[in-house]
Structure 1
Amino acid sequence: MSQPTIKRDPEGTRRRILEAATEQFTSLGLAGARVDAIASAAGTNERMLYYYFTSKEGLYVAVLEALYVEFANCESNLDLSGLKPSDAIRSLAESIWTHLQENPRWLSLINNENLHEGRYLQQSAKIRETLSPVVELIRTTLGRGAVAGEFRADVDALDFYVTLVGMGYYVVSNRFTLKMFTGRNYFERPARTAISNMHVDMLLSYLRPTSSAPASS
Protein backbone atom coordinates (compact mmCIF):
# COMPACT_ATOMS: atom_id res chain seq x y z
CA MET A 1 0.00 0.00 0.00
CA SER A 2 1.47 3.39 -1.00
CA GLN A 3 2.28 5.99 1.63
CA PRO A 4 0.18 9.17 1.60
CA THR A 5 1.85 12.18 0.01
CA ILE A 6 2.95 14.81 2.53
CA LYS A 7 2.19 18.28 1.28
CA ARG A 8 5.09 20.61 1.93
CA ASP A 9 4.52 24.28 2.46
CA PRO A 10 7.89 25.98 2.95
CA GLU A 11 6.50 29.52 2.70
CA GLY A 12 3.74 28.69 5.17
CA THR A 13 6.26 27.20 7.60
CA ARG A 14 8.53 30.21 7.30
CA ARG A 15 5.60 32.58 7.85
CA ARG A 16 4.41 30.69 10.94
CA ILE A 17 7.93 30.77 12.40
CA LEU A 18 8.12 34.54 11.82
CA GLU A 19 4.72 35.08 13.45
CA ALA A 20 5.59 32.96 16.47
CA ALA A 21 8.98 34.63 16.79
CA THR A 22 7.41 38.08 16.62
CA GLU A 23 5.25 37.24 19.63
CA GLN A 24 8.21 35.83 21.58
CA PHE A 25 10.58 38.69 20.79
CA THR A 26 7.89 41.29 21.52
CA SER A 27 7.10 39.97 24.97
CA LEU A 28 10.48 38.55 26.03
CA GLY A 29 13.11 40.32 23.95
CA LEU A 30 15.96 38.62 22.15
CA ALA A 31 17.58 37.27 25.31
CA GLY A 32 14.39 35.86 26.80
CA ALA A 33 12.91 34.28 23.66
CA ARG A 34 13.38 30.51 23.37
CA VAL A 35 13.92 28.69 20.10
CA ASP A 36 12.03 25.58 21.25
CA ALA A 37 9.01 27.69 22.27
CA ILE A 38 9.01 29.50 18.90
CA ALA A 39 9.21 26.22 16.98
CA SER A 40 6.41 24.69 19.07
CA ALA A 41 4.13 27.71 18.58
CA ALA A 42 4.82 27.59 14.83
CA GLY A 43 3.89 23.89 14.66
CA THR A 44 7.33 22.84 13.49
CA ASN A 45 10.69 21.82 14.98
CA GLU A 46 13.94 23.59 15.82
CA ARG A 47 15.70 21.98 12.86
CA MET A 48 13.38 23.79 10.44
CA LEU A 49 13.85 27.06 12.27
CA TYR A 50 17.62 26.81 11.89
CA TYR A 51 17.18 25.70 8.27
CA TYR A 52 15.31 28.90 7.36
CA PHE A 53 17.01 31.41 9.65
CA THR A 54 20.39 29.89 10.67
CA SER A 55 20.23 31.10 14.29
CA LYS A 56 18.01 32.80 16.86
CA GLU A 57 19.78 36.07 16.03
CA GLY A 58 19.13 35.51 12.32
CA LEU A 59 15.46 34.98 13.08
CA TYR A 60 15.40 38.15 15.18
CA VAL A 61 16.82 40.15 12.25
CA ALA A 62 14.24 38.61 9.91
CA VAL A 63 11.42 39.64 12.27
CA LEU A 64 12.71 43.22 12.38
CA GLU A 65 13.00 43.30 8.58
CA ALA A 66 9.45 42.02 8.13
CA LEU A 67 7.99 44.65 10.45
CA TYR A 68 9.97 47.48 8.84
CA VAL A 69 8.76 46.34 5.41
CA GLU A 70 5.16 46.25 6.65
CA PHE A 71 5.50 49.73 8.14
CA ALA A 72 7.10 51.20 5.01
CA ASN A 73 4.66 49.52 2.59
CA CYS A 74 1.70 50.96 4.47
CA GLU A 75 2.93 54.46 3.68
CA SER A 76 4.63 54.09 0.30
CA ASN A 77 1.45 52.55 -1.15
CA LEU A 78 -0.59 55.65 -0.33
CA ASP A 79 -1.77 57.59 -3.38
CA LEU A 80 -1.28 61.23 -2.45
CA SER A 81 -0.99 62.59 -5.99
CA GLY A 82 -4.60 63.78 -6.16
CA LEU A 83 -4.43 65.72 -2.88
CA LYS A 84 -3.29 69.26 -2.27
CA PRO A 85 0.23 69.13 -0.81
CA SER A 86 -0.93 70.21 2.65
CA ASP A 87 -3.72 67.62 2.62
CA ALA A 88 -1.22 65.00 1.42
CA ILE A 89 1.08 65.72 4.39
CA ARG A 90 -1.87 65.48 6.76
CA SER A 91 -2.99 62.18 5.24
CA LEU A 92 0.52 60.72 5.40
CA ALA A 93 1.05 61.83 9.00
CA GLU A 94 -2.27 60.41 10.13
CA SER A 95 -1.56 57.13 8.35
CA ILE A 96 1.86 56.76 10.01
CA TRP A 97 0.57 57.68 13.47
CA THR A 98 -2.41 55.33 13.15
CA HIS A 99 -0.07 52.49 12.17
CA LEU A 100 2.05 53.14 15.27
CA GLN A 101 -1.02 53.23 17.48
CA GLU A 102 -2.40 49.99 16.06
CA ASN A 103 0.91 48.09 16.16
CA PRO A 104 2.42 48.51 19.64
CA ARG A 105 4.38 45.26 19.28
CA TRP A 106 6.44 46.95 16.53
CA LEU A 107 7.37 49.63 19.02
CA SER A 108 8.31 47.02 21.61
CA LEU A 109 10.73 45.43 19.17
CA ILE A 110 12.23 48.76 18.15
CA ASN A 111 12.72 49.74 21.78
CA ASN A 112 14.41 46.39 22.40
CA GLU A 113 16.71 46.84 19.42
CA ASN A 114 17.66 50.29 20.67
CA LEU A 115 18.83 48.62 23.88
CA HIS A 116 21.12 46.57 21.62
CA GLU A 117 22.29 49.86 20.04
CA GLY A 118 21.00 48.77 16.63
CA ARG A 119 23.68 46.12 16.11
CA TYR A 120 21.27 43.49 14.81
CA LEU A 121 19.61 45.85 12.35
CA GLN A 122 23.11 46.65 11.15
CA GLN A 123 23.32 43.06 9.91
CA SER A 124 20.38 43.58 7.56
CA ALA A 125 20.99 44.41 3.91
CA LYS A 126 17.31 45.27 3.38
CA ILE A 127 16.41 47.80 6.07
CA ARG A 128 17.48 50.96 4.25
CA GLU A 129 15.80 49.77 1.06
CA THR A 130 12.44 49.87 2.86
CA LEU A 131 12.92 53.54 3.73
CA SER A 132 13.64 54.88 0.25
CA PRO A 133 10.08 54.74 -1.21
CA VAL A 134 8.59 56.55 1.81
CA VAL A 135 11.19 59.31 1.75
CA GLU A 136 10.73 59.65 -2.01
CA LEU A 137 6.97 60.01 -1.49
CA ILE A 138 7.62 62.82 0.97
CA ARG A 139 10.21 64.42 -1.32
CA THR A 140 7.69 64.42 -4.19
CA THR A 141 4.96 65.90 -2.00
CA LEU A 142 7.26 68.60 -0.65
CA GLY A 143 8.33 69.39 -4.21
CA ARG A 144 4.72 69.80 -5.32
CA GLY A 145 4.10 72.07 -2.37
CA ALA A 146 7.12 74.21 -3.18
CA VAL A 147 6.05 74.60 -6.82
CA ALA A 148 2.55 75.58 -5.70
CA GLY A 149 3.95 78.14 -3.29
CA GLU A 150 2.49 76.30 -0.26
CA PHE A 151 5.81 75.02 1.13
CA ARG A 152 9.30 76.37 1.52
CA ALA A 153 11.81 74.82 -0.86
CA ASP A 154 14.64 74.00 1.56
CA VAL A 155 13.09 71.13 3.55
CA ASP A 156 15.11 67.93 3.81
CA ALA A 157 12.74 65.03 3.12
CA LEU A 158 14.54 62.58 5.41
CA ASP A 159 14.71 65.02 8.32
CA PHE A 160 11.03 65.80 7.85
CA TYR A 161 10.16 62.09 7.85
CA VAL A 162 12.14 61.44 11.04
CA THR A 163 10.45 64.41 12.73
CA LEU A 164 7.00 63.28 11.63
CA VAL A 165 7.50 59.71 12.85
CA GLY A 166 9.06 60.94 16.09
CA MET A 167 5.96 62.93 16.96
CA GLY A 168 3.72 59.87 16.75
CA TYR A 169 6.30 57.49 18.17
CA TYR A 170 6.81 59.36 21.43
CA VAL A 171 3.12 59.50 22.28
CA VAL A 172 2.63 55.79 21.63
CA SER A 173 5.88 54.38 23.05
CA ASN A 174 5.47 56.43 26.25
CA ARG A 175 1.72 56.00 26.57
CA PHE A 176 1.84 54.31 29.98
CA THR A 177 4.29 56.69 31.65
CA LEU A 178 2.58 59.70 30.08
CA LYS A 179 -0.74 58.58 31.56
CA MET A 180 0.78 58.17 35.01
CA PHE A 181 2.79 61.39 34.82
CA THR A 182 0.22 63.71 33.22
CA GLY A 183 -3.04 62.01 34.10
CA ARG A 184 -4.07 62.08 30.43
CA ASN A 185 -4.55 58.93 28.37
CA TYR A 186 -3.32 59.69 24.86
CA PHE A 187 -4.73 56.40 23.63
CA GLU A 188 -8.26 57.65 24.22
CA ARG A 189 -9.68 59.11 21.03
CA PRO A 190 -10.35 62.74 22.11
CA ALA A 191 -6.81 63.23 23.47
CA ARG A 192 -5.27 61.33 20.56
CA THR A 193 -7.17 63.40 17.99
CA ALA A 194 -6.30 66.67 19.70
CA ILE A 195 -2.57 66.04 19.88
CA SER A 196 -2.48 64.65 16.32
CA ASN A 197 -4.16 67.82 15.04
CA MET A 198 -1.64 69.90 16.99
CA HIS A 199 1.25 67.94 15.48
CA VAL A 200 -0.08 68.36 11.94
CA ASP A 201 -0.54 72.12 12.48
CA MET A 202 3.06 72.34 13.72
CA LEU A 203 4.37 70.45 10.69
CA LEU A 204 2.40 72.57 8.21
CA SER A 205 3.43 75.76 9.99
CA TYR A 206 7.07 74.76 9.57
CA LEU A 207 6.52 74.04 5.87
CA ARG A 208 4.95 77.41 5.06
CA PRO A 209 7.27 79.80 3.18
CA THR A 210 8.65 82.60 5.29
CA SER A 211 7.42 86.04 4.29
CA SER A 212 9.75 87.78 1.87
CA ALA A 213 8.18 91.20 2.45
CA PRO A 214 10.69 93.80 3.66
CA ALA A 215 10.36 94.99 7.22
CA SER A 216 8.86 98.46 7.61
CA SER A 217 11.21 101.19 8.77
Structure 2
Amino acid sequence: MDDAISPERDTERQAAKPAAATGTRTRDPERTKANILAAATSEFSSRGFAGARVDAIAARSRANKRMIYHYFGNKQGLWLAVLEAAYERVRTAELGLHLAELEPEQAMRTLVRYTFESFVGDRVFINLLNSENLHQARHLKHSSRIKSMHSPLIGMIQTILDRGVATGVFRAGVDPAQLWLTIAGISFFYFSNIYTLSVILDKDLKSKSGVDTRRDHVVDFVMNGLKPGG
Protein backbone atom coordinates (compact mmCIF):
# COMPACT_ATOMS: atom_id res chain seq x y z
CA MET A 1 0.00 0.00 0.00
CA ASP A 2 1.30 3.43 -0.98
CA ASP A 3 1.02 5.11 2.41
CA ALA A 4 1.76 2.19 4.73
CA ILE A 5 5.01 1.84 6.65
CA SER A 6 7.47 -0.14 4.56
CA PRO A 7 8.02 -3.62 6.05
CA GLU A 8 11.44 -4.13 4.46
CA ARG A 9 14.20 -4.76 6.97
CA ASP A 10 17.12 -4.60 4.59
CA THR A 11 17.02 -0.84 3.96
CA GLU A 12 20.28 -0.16 5.76
CA ARG A 13 22.01 -3.10 4.08
CA GLN A 14 20.82 -2.10 0.61
CA ALA A 15 21.65 1.58 1.15
CA ALA A 16 25.09 0.73 2.50
CA LYS A 17 26.25 -1.32 -0.49
CA PRO A 18 29.32 0.15 -2.18
CA ALA A 19 28.69 2.20 -5.29
CA ALA A 20 30.71 -0.22 -7.41
CA ALA A 21 28.53 -3.13 -6.34
CA THR A 22 25.19 -1.39 -6.82
CA GLY A 23 26.05 0.68 -9.87
CA THR A 24 24.91 3.86 -8.09
CA ARG A 25 26.72 6.87 -6.74
CA THR A 26 27.95 6.98 -3.16
CA ARG A 27 25.11 7.83 -0.80
CA ASP A 28 24.74 11.35 0.50
CA PRO A 29 22.08 11.02 3.24
CA GLU A 30 21.61 14.75 3.80
CA ARG A 31 21.22 15.48 0.11
CA THR A 32 18.83 12.56 -0.28
CA LYS A 33 16.70 13.80 2.61
CA ALA A 34 16.74 17.35 1.24
CA ASN A 35 15.64 16.12 -2.19
CA ILE A 36 12.84 14.09 -0.65
CA LEU A 37 11.67 17.05 1.43
CA ALA A 38 11.70 19.37 -1.59
CA ALA A 39 9.72 16.87 -3.66
CA ALA A 40 7.30 16.23 -0.81
CA THR A 41 6.76 19.95 -0.28
CA SER A 42 5.75 20.36 -3.93
CA GLU A 43 3.50 17.29 -3.89
CA PHE A 44 1.79 18.12 -0.59
CA SER A 45 1.35 21.77 -1.53
CA SER A 46 -0.27 20.83 -4.83
CA ARG A 47 -2.47 17.98 -3.61
CA GLY A 48 -2.79 18.35 0.15
CA PHE A 49 -2.03 15.62 2.63
CA ALA A 50 -4.87 13.33 1.55
CA GLY A 51 -4.27 13.66 -2.19
CA ALA A 52 -0.48 13.40 -2.18
CA ARG A 53 1.10 10.05 -3.08
CA VAL A 54 4.39 8.66 -1.88
CA ASP A 55 4.95 7.14 -5.34
CA ALA A 56 4.84 10.63 -6.84
CA ILE A 57 7.23 11.98 -4.21
CA ALA A 58 9.64 9.12 -4.93
CA ALA A 59 9.52 9.90 -8.64
CA ARG A 60 10.05 13.64 -8.06
CA SER A 61 12.98 13.08 -5.71
CA ARG A 62 14.48 10.15 -7.63
CA ALA A 63 14.64 8.27 -4.35
CA ASN A 64 13.06 4.86 -3.93
CA LYS A 65 10.16 4.48 -1.52
CA ARG A 66 12.25 2.37 0.83
CA MET A 67 14.55 5.33 1.45
CA ILE A 68 11.59 7.64 2.06
CA TYR A 69 10.21 5.26 4.67
CA HIS A 70 13.68 4.75 6.12
CA TYR A 71 14.21 8.48 6.72
CA PHE A 72 10.67 9.57 7.59
CA GLY A 73 8.86 6.45 8.78
CA ASN A 74 5.63 6.86 6.82
CA LYS A 75 3.56 9.40 4.93
CA GLN A 76 2.48 11.09 8.15
CA GLY A 77 6.09 11.46 9.28
CA LEU A 78 7.06 12.96 5.95
CA TRP A 79 4.15 15.40 6.07
CA LEU A 80 5.15 16.52 9.56
CA ALA A 81 8.76 17.02 8.43
CA VAL A 82 7.52 19.20 5.56
CA LEU A 83 5.37 21.29 7.92
CA GLU A 84 8.22 21.76 10.38
CA ALA A 85 10.61 22.77 7.61
CA ALA A 86 8.10 25.32 6.28
CA TYR A 87 7.62 26.88 9.71
CA GLU A 88 11.35 26.88 10.32
CA ARG A 89 12.01 28.81 7.10
CA VAL A 90 9.55 31.51 8.12
CA ARG A 91 10.76 31.75 11.72
CA THR A 92 14.42 31.86 10.65
CA ALA A 93 13.70 34.66 8.20
CA GLU A 94 11.89 36.64 10.93
CA LEU A 95 14.85 36.35 13.27
CA GLY A 96 17.06 37.44 10.37
CA LEU A 97 15.29 40.81 10.23
CA HIS A 98 17.47 41.97 13.17
CA LEU A 99 14.56 43.86 14.68
CA ALA A 100 16.42 44.46 17.94
CA GLU A 101 18.68 46.85 16.04
CA LEU A 102 15.76 49.02 14.88
CA GLU A 103 13.73 51.65 16.71
CA PRO A 104 10.45 50.19 18.08
CA GLU A 105 8.13 51.70 15.46
CA GLN A 106 10.43 50.77 12.58
CA ALA A 107 10.90 47.29 14.01
CA MET A 108 7.16 46.68 14.25
CA ARG A 109 6.48 48.07 10.79
CA THR A 110 9.20 45.83 9.40
CA LEU A 111 7.74 42.75 11.10
CA VAL A 112 4.20 43.46 9.90
CA ARG A 113 5.37 44.18 6.36
CA TYR A 114 7.50 41.03 6.30
CA THR A 115 4.65 38.86 7.60
CA PHE A 116 2.30 40.17 4.93
CA GLU A 117 4.82 39.93 2.11
CA SER A 118 5.88 36.41 3.09
CA PHE A 119 2.63 35.24 1.49
CA VAL A 120 3.12 37.19 -1.75
CA GLY A 121 3.82 35.06 -4.81
CA ASP A 122 4.27 31.81 -2.91
CA ARG A 123 1.20 29.82 -1.99
CA VAL A 124 3.15 26.80 -0.74
CA PHE A 125 2.94 27.76 2.92
CA ILE A 126 -0.71 28.77 2.61
CA ASN A 127 -1.59 25.48 0.92
CA LEU A 128 0.23 23.45 3.56
CA LEU A 129 -1.50 25.32 6.38
CA ASN A 130 -4.91 24.97 4.75
CA SER A 131 -4.44 21.23 4.38
CA GLU A 132 -3.28 20.73 7.98
CA ASN A 133 -6.17 22.83 9.29
CA LEU A 134 -8.57 20.59 7.38
CA HIS A 135 -7.16 17.79 9.55
CA GLN A 136 -7.51 19.95 12.70
CA ALA A 137 -3.71 20.02 13.19
CA ARG A 138 -3.78 16.26 13.81
CA HIS A 139 -0.21 15.85 12.61
CA LEU A 140 1.26 19.08 13.97
CA LYS A 141 0.21 18.05 17.47
CA HIS A 142 2.90 15.38 17.35
CA SER A 143 5.69 17.85 16.61
CA SER A 144 8.29 18.18 19.35
CA ARG A 145 9.75 21.30 17.71
CA ILE A 146 6.89 23.57 16.72
CA LYS A 147 6.38 25.28 20.09
CA SER A 148 10.06 25.99 20.58
CA MET A 149 10.19 27.54 17.08
CA HIS A 150 7.59 30.13 18.03
CA SER A 151 8.89 31.05 21.49
CA PRO A 152 11.70 33.31 20.19
CA LEU A 153 9.24 35.16 17.95
CA ILE A 154 6.83 35.93 20.79
CA GLY A 155 9.76 36.99 22.97
CA MET A 156 11.03 39.25 20.19
CA ILE A 157 7.62 40.92 19.85
CA GLN A 158 7.46 41.40 23.62
CA THR A 159 10.84 43.12 23.57
CA ILE A 160 9.74 45.48 20.78
CA LEU A 161 6.56 46.30 22.68
CA ASP A 162 8.45 46.95 25.91
CA ARG A 163 10.89 49.28 24.15
CA GLY A 164 8.00 51.08 22.51
CA VAL A 165 6.18 51.54 25.82
CA ALA A 166 9.38 52.84 27.43
CA THR A 167 9.80 55.48 24.71
CA GLY A 168 6.11 56.40 24.68
CA VAL A 169 5.30 55.27 21.12
CA PHE A 170 3.27 52.16 22.08
CA ARG A 171 0.52 51.74 24.63
CA ALA A 172 1.02 49.37 27.53
CA GLY A 173 -0.78 46.08 28.07
CA VAL A 174 -0.60 44.60 24.55
CA ASP A 175 -0.32 40.81 24.63
CA PRO A 176 2.49 39.78 22.21
CA ALA A 177 0.82 36.48 21.30
CA GLN A 178 -2.50 38.19 20.53
CA LEU A 179 -0.70 40.82 18.49
CA TRP A 180 1.10 38.17 16.46
CA LEU A 181 -2.22 36.34 15.87
CA THR A 182 -3.68 39.59 14.55
CA ILE A 183 -0.74 40.30 12.26
CA ALA A 184 -0.65 36.74 10.90
CA GLY A 185 -4.42 36.45 10.72
CA ILE A 186 -5.17 39.56 8.69
CA SER A 187 -2.24 38.78 6.39
CA PHE A 188 -3.13 35.13 5.87
CA PHE A 189 -6.85 35.76 5.33
CA TYR A 190 -6.21 38.04 2.39
CA PHE A 191 -4.12 35.50 0.49
CA SER A 192 -5.99 32.35 1.51
CA ASN A 193 -9.23 33.87 0.19
CA ILE A 194 -7.86 36.11 -2.55
CA TYR A 195 -9.70 34.43 -5.43
CA THR A 196 -13.17 34.43 -3.89
CA LEU A 197 -12.71 37.94 -2.49
CA SER A 198 -11.69 39.22 -5.93
CA VAL A 199 -15.02 37.98 -7.29
CA ILE A 200 -17.11 39.22 -4.36
CA LEU A 201 -15.56 42.69 -4.32
CA ASP A 202 -15.18 42.87 -8.12
CA LYS A 203 -11.51 43.84 -7.74
CA ASP A 204 -8.32 42.19 -8.86
CA LEU A 205 -6.82 41.67 -5.43
CA LYS A 206 -3.98 39.67 -7.00
CA SER A 207 -2.69 42.70 -8.90
CA LYS A 208 0.36 44.58 -7.66
CA SER A 209 -1.72 47.64 -6.84
CA GLY A 210 -4.24 45.48 -4.97
CA VAL A 211 -1.54 43.77 -2.91
CA ASP A 212 0.31 47.05 -2.23
CA THR A 213 -2.88 48.76 -1.08
CA ARG A 214 -3.77 45.91 1.26
CA ARG A 215 -0.22 45.69 2.67
CA ASP A 216 -0.13 49.40 3.48
CA HIS A 217 -3.56 49.17 5.11
CA VAL A 218 -2.50 46.22 7.27
CA VAL A 219 0.69 47.97 8.41
CA ASP A 220 -1.17 51.20 9.25
CA PHE A 221 -3.99 49.28 10.98
CA VAL A 222 -1.60 47.45 13.30
CA MET A 223 0.52 50.52 14.03
CA ASN A 224 -2.55 52.65 14.84
CA GLY A 225 -3.73 49.97 17.25
CA LEU A 226 -0.46 50.17 19.16
CA LYS A 227 -0.47 53.93 19.64
CA PRO A 228 -1.06 55.28 23.14
CA GLY A 229 -4.80 55.81 23.47
CA GLY A 230 -5.37 53.58 20.42
Same fold by TM (over 0.5)? yes
1:63 aligns with 2:119: no
2:165 paired with 1:141: no
Cα offsets for 1:185-217 (capped at 9, x unmatched): 222222212222111121111111128xxxxxx
Match of 2:129 in 1: 110
- Which residue matches 1:215? none
1:205 counterpart residue number: 224
In structure 2, the partner of 1:120 is 139
Quote the Cα distance in structure 2 between the aligned partners of 1:145 and 1:42: 48
CA distance in 2, matches of 1:21, 1:130: 21
Tell me what 1:7 maps to: 26
**1:46 corresponds to 2:73:** no
* Equivalent residue letter for 1:194: T
Give the Cα–Cα distance (whole angstroms) in 2 for the partners of residues 125 and 114 of structure 1.
18
Tell me, in whole angstroms, the C-alpha distance in 1 between the residues paired with 2:220 and 2:118.
20
Matches within 5 A, 1:177-196: 177-196=196-215
Which residue of the partner structure matches residue 51 of structure 2? 32
Pair 1:72-2:91 in alignment: yes
- Alignment match, 2:178: 159
Once residues 92 and 167 of structure 2 are traced to their aligned partners in structure 1, the CA distance between those partners, rounded to angstroms, is 27
The separation in 1 between residues aligned to 2:205 and 2:158, in whole angstroms, is 30
Give, in whole Å, the separation in 2 of the partners of 1:85 and 1:102.
28
TM normalised by structure 1 equals 0.92
Structure 2 unaligned regions, length at least 5: 1-18
Unmatched tracts of structure 1, length 5 or more: 212-217
For residues 204 and 13 of structure 1, the distance between their equivalents in structure 2, rounded to whole angstroms, comes to 45
Ranges of 4+ aligned residues in structure 1 off by more than 4 Å = none
Shift of 1:6: 3.6
Q: Aligned with 2:203: secondary structure?
A: coil
1:214 corresponds to which residue?
Answer: none
Residue 112 of structure 2 aligns with which residue? 93
Q: Distance in 2 between matches of 1:189 and 1:69?
A: 28
Q: CA RMSD in A?
A: 1.7
Counterpart residue identity of residue 67, structure 1? A
TM-score by length of 2: 0.87
**1:210–1:3 CA distance, 2 compared to 1 (3 A):** closer
Q: 1:70-125, CA deviations, whole angstroms, 9 ceiling, x for partnerless residues?
A: 11111122112332211111111111111111321110110011110111100111
